[in-house]
Amino acid sequence: MTQSDKVVLSSIDGGIACLTLNRPEKKNALNDQLISELKEALTNAAAKEEVRTIVIRGSGSDFCSGADLAALEKISKSTAAENAADARALQELFLLIRQLPVPVIAAVHGRALAGGCGLASACDIIVASRNARFGYPEVKIGFVPAMVTAILRRNVSEKMAFELLTRGDTIEADEAHRIGLVNRVFDDGTFENDVRQFADGFATVSKSAVSLTKTLFYQVDGLPFLEATETGVDVNVIARMTEDCQKGIARFLQKKSG
């Protein structure tokens, strides 16, 4: 496959891997090829030692408008087994994002709707341009936003998650920030630079510490309090033995004694 045939473009600059959804004529709508290429690009980027964070963005006017018409037509003609395989492909993408050792940031401009909003929600962090719009409109066509429900339920309050999933409304970036779905909102004119500066922040902290924190963060999700704290003990011990921690403590003590 040539670079021009790809629907996910990859680049690395200064420790930031940028993965660009490249179907602008389709509003970067999800299809089998895009999901497959995105999983491959995420895995490849996270495997590179110099990468501290991954940014997913969309080309053109939108981040991702959900499933394309061909994908919807495929659903209407598929068997239960075929539909299950389709759903699992998206599940694998969402799980992969959580399992990667580096933070994954969704940089959302324009529309992030249905599966596109699910993709953004599955990322560790969402930063949005002020013109961004978010929504799960699946119920308007009799569909269920099933693949994102477990994620959204953990991102925002129970009642707000229920409202978003069952009304199918679209909300603006500032409202998404107010309810906790979005981490930061940046002005449209400075969005690219602001995203870069935000992502650069991960270059100033320990990669191993961030990786262990991410693993712990999702591992304790749903655990009883005692088990969660026991898991914290295990990760604490691992962290103390890392090279980053040993060097960091040495630098701190040297600075205090100097």
Q: Answer for the pair 221, 154: CB distance below 8 angstroms, yes or no.
A: yes
Q: Which of 89, 84, 85, 126 is nearest to 109 (CA)?
A: 126
Is 37 noted as a catalytic residue in this protein? no
Count Cβ neighbours within 10 Å for each residue of 226-254 and write b for 16 or more, e otherwise: eeeeeeeeebeeebeebebbeeeeeeeee
Catalytic residue among 40, 138, 158, 192: 138
Half-sphere exposure of 4 (CA within 13 A, CB side): 0
CB burial of residue 85 (10 Å; 0-12, 13-18, 19+) = exposed
Give whole-number Cα distances, 174 to 41, 70, 210, 241, in Å: 30, 32, 28, 42
Token look-up 């953990």 returns 154
Rounded Cα distance, 92 and 199, in Å: 25
Q: Which of 85, 10, 23 is nearest to 59 (CA)?
A: 23
Q: Answer for the pair 117, 134: CB distance below 8 angstroms, yes or no.
A: yes
Query: In one letter, which amino acid is 46?
Result: A
Query: In one letter, which amino acid is 6?
Result: K
DSSP helix/strand/coil, 171: strand
Return the active site residues: 138
